[in-house]
Copies of this chain bind each other. A is one copy, B any other.
Amino acid sequence: MPQIPEGRNWLKPGEVAERAGVAVSTLHYYESLGLISSRRTSGNRREYRRDTLRVLAFIRSAQRVGVSLDRVKEALDQLPRKGLPTKKDWARISRQWHDELTERIEYLTGLRDRFSDCIGCGCLSLKSCPYSNPDDALGAGGQGPRRFP
């Protein structure tokens, strides 16, 4: 991994990509979606602000739990467009993120426990089974995640 001096606040695409564990093409893609931004050098090369790493980390963890890039963008749009995001900005996002994760954790926990009840026990009845009910809380309005290998 290339050493990035402490003082350098603007990073090259390759550096950011390596540090964040994504491909350079992914940076382009995210930029096209407005998730991250860059400035250009005189030679038209991109330069990313150091805190882009933080944004990328945020995106990464959001995706890991199945949040779409659209939703991520909504969250990031609450950061100030101009100027560096402050601690307060990140704290606000962090709070929302925390709540979202908590909700998701509770859902999974319920799923696990009810699953044990209705299938694990061997009752083999779907009549009162929450999984056979398409209209449960989190089910409505979503197509669900696509992959989590």
The chain A residues found within 8 Å of chain B, CB to CB, are 19-21, 51, 53-54, 57-58, 60-61, 63-68, 70-71, 87-88, 90-91, 93-95, 97-98, 101-102, 104-105, 107-109, 111-112, 115-116, 119-120, 122, 124, 126, 129, 131-135, 138-139, 141-149
Contacts and interface: CB of A to CB of B under 8 A. Distances in A.
Nearest to A68: B147
Contacts of A126: 53-54, 57
Contacts of A21: 133-135, 139
Nearest to A21: B134
B149 A120 contact: no
Contact of A147 (B132, B134, B143): B143
Task: Work out how many copies of this chain go into the complex.
Answer: 2
A22 to B, nearest CB: 8
Given A91-B122, A105-B105, A61 B146 contact: no
B119 A90 contact: yes
